[in-house]
Structures are given as structure tokens and as C-alpha cells.
Amino acid sequence: MSGSLKLGFMPLDDAAGLIVAKALGFFDDEGLEVELSREASWATIRDKVAVGALDGAHMLAPMVLAQSLGIGGEATAMIAPLALATDGAAITLSTRLGLGPSPSRAGLADLVAERREMDASLLTFGVVFPFSIHNYLLRLWVAEAGLDPDRDVRIVVAPPPRMAELLAGGVIEGFCVGEPWNAVAVNAGAGVVAARAGEIAPGAPDKVFGVTRAWAQANPETLQAVLRALLRALAWADDAENREALAALLAEPQHVGVASDAIAAGLRHVVFHRGGAARPDRAQATWLLEQMRRWGQIPPDADIQSALAVYAPEMHDQAAVLA
């Protein structure tokens, strides 16, 4: 078993599984020497995992499906043996829009209509990656307002840590991102949360632990050891008694690196382990693929069955017996 690994993550509350497993010695307990690498963007994580610069990573759930299908980049067979979090994303709108403390879909629709009459530019919203739950949640919320997300608003991509800054600077008028970046925008007075993932699509998959299929096949024992450590970490993170310590750990500069109160505010909404949240469900993969098809990201004849095989609940189940 190869015990030296480099695992990537983005600075988000839902990277807690990897960060806790490293900090609390759960990887060490499995005989693993793990280096965590904080990355700059989701595209960087995707590409580094694909070429082997990272052995595995905290990844967007739809991204591993797209990567396996060769959509948006070179095809790389992927495995998602563990879900890392659900329900941690939210849609935040700029306070400059004047939609009040609880912006509604109806209010957004009225604002879009007013701007159209004035021949003003489209509202610009940020998402973290084209193949992300954040893109789909935003599109669903906009569509439920009676708007066309491809015609009535403009959607751009930006890394999660830049979202609050772009909102405060007036570059974008809203975003959908994981915590703590919604809380950071709210605490700065720049934004107000309009909707949370749990309200739009409860339990929808957000992040997974991803590895290439080739790496998984070459390192089955190491993968199981990683999964056991991560399952312990996710259970620890979901324990209410540990949330204060978790917020402090995530606040460290090498991890998320923002104030612990913002992190704690966001953690109230994230589900890591309870209710079977860590088990990658192929029904969730089906829902994601349906969103990808609805929004024109994959053709009608895409090989859905091969994409569903990316989700590997049997690997989770094997690890859970001994975790």
C-alpha cells in the first residue's frame, strides 16, 4: 500500500473532511502520509487530478461526471467513492439591487423587467464552475422566477474565494457559492442570502472525493484507507459538539482563512455525514445528469450509464464497515 499522498481542496467549509482527517490524525491512524494542497480553482483541481499531480481531491459532484464524459475537457475516467457534503451552497444577491432583506424570485423578475424597459445591461451572476451544483441551483431559482437563465441574466464563472470581493466591487450582482463565502458577503454588508440549496433542491449532491479510475484500480488498499479516515472526519465534523473547534480549524490561513464566525454561520447549513449523506447515491448522479441535459451541457445521446458508474457506493460501503 502506497502511504504517501497529495490531496487537493478548495477553501470552503465543505473541505472539512480532508482538513479534519489531516489535523486530527485520522490519516496517520491509517498509515497514510498525506499532504493537503489548497488550490486556486476547480479547473486546476480537475486538471491536476487528471494528470496525477494530485492523487485525489475535494471535487464538484457534477464535475467528475463531466470529466468522465469528456465534456468541457479531455475525457478522464473518474471514481467518486465518497460524498463530502450537501446543502452548503446558497444564492446571495447584492444589497445594491434594493430587493430587501429576503429577496424573492418575484422581486428578481420585476427588476429584470424594469432593466429591460430601461435598456440596461443584464444582471450578472457568478457560479463556481459550469459543471457545478451552484450553476444548476442558480438556473433553477431563476427559471422558477419565470426567467430564462440563458437570455434574461448573464452567468459567469469565478473561483469561490473571489465571489464576495466581486459582489462588493460591483462586478457581479449575485452569486451561488458554497459557504463561507455567502456569510463573508453578508457580514461585509455587500450581500443578502436569497435562497439556500436545502430550499431549492434538498439533499442535492455538492462535493465528492474524486480520484481517477486508473488510480483507484492501482491503489485499492490505499483508497480504502483514505475513505475510512474521511468517514471518521465527516462524522466528527457533523457532531454539534465539535462545530466550534471545526470553525476554528477551518479559519486557519492554510485552510479556508476567513473569520471563524463567518465559517460557523455557514456550517449551520452543511450536512457532512448524518442521514447517509456521505454515501454517493447513483440517484443523485442521475439528477445531476438530468440538469446537465436540461441546460444543454450534454447531448441527448450521451452515455449516461457509463457516467453513473462514476459514483461508487460499494467502495463507501466497504470502508464504512471498518471506519
Q: Are residues 144 and 212 in the same domain?
A: no
pLDDT tens-place string over residues 141-189 = 999 999 999 999 999 999 999 999 999 999 999 999 999 999 999 999 9
**Cα distance from N-terminal residue to C-terminal residue, the chain:** 18
Q: Judge if 59 and 159 occupy the same domain.
A: no
pTM of the model: 0.96
In terms of domains, do 300 and 227 share one?
yes
Whether 305 and 220 share a structural domain: yes
Q: Which domain holds residue 101?
A: 89-200
CATH number for the domain including 235? 3.40.190.10
Final residue of a domain: which of 165, 200, 235?
200
End position of a domain, from candidates 170, 200, 230: 200
The residue out of 200, 219, 241 marking a domain boundary is 200
Judgement on whether residues 67 and 208 belong to the same structural domain of the protein: yes
Whether 177 and 80 share a structural domain: no
Residues 161 and 146 in one domain: yes
Q: Are residues 218 and 314 in the same domain?
A: yes
| CA distances for 194 relative to 47, 99, 100, angstroms | 33, 9, 10
pLDDT per residue of the chain (323 residues) written in tens, 0 to 9: 556 999 999 999 999 999 999 999 999 999 999 999 999 999 999 999 999 999 999 999 999 999 999 998 889 999 999 999 999 999 999 999 999 999 999 999 999 999 999 999 999 999 999 999 999 999 999 999 999 999 999 999 999 999 999 999 999 999 999 999 999 999 999 999 999 999 999 988 899 999 999 999 999 999 999 999 999 999 999 999 999 999 999 999 999 999 999 999 999 999 999 999 999 999 999 999 999 999 999 988 887 888 899 999 999 999 999 87
For residue range 264-287, what is the model confidence (pLDDT) as tens digits?
999 999 999 999 999 999 999 999
- Helix axes of 220-238 and 16-23: crossing angle, nearest 10 degrees: 100
Both 36 and 106 in one domain: the answer is no
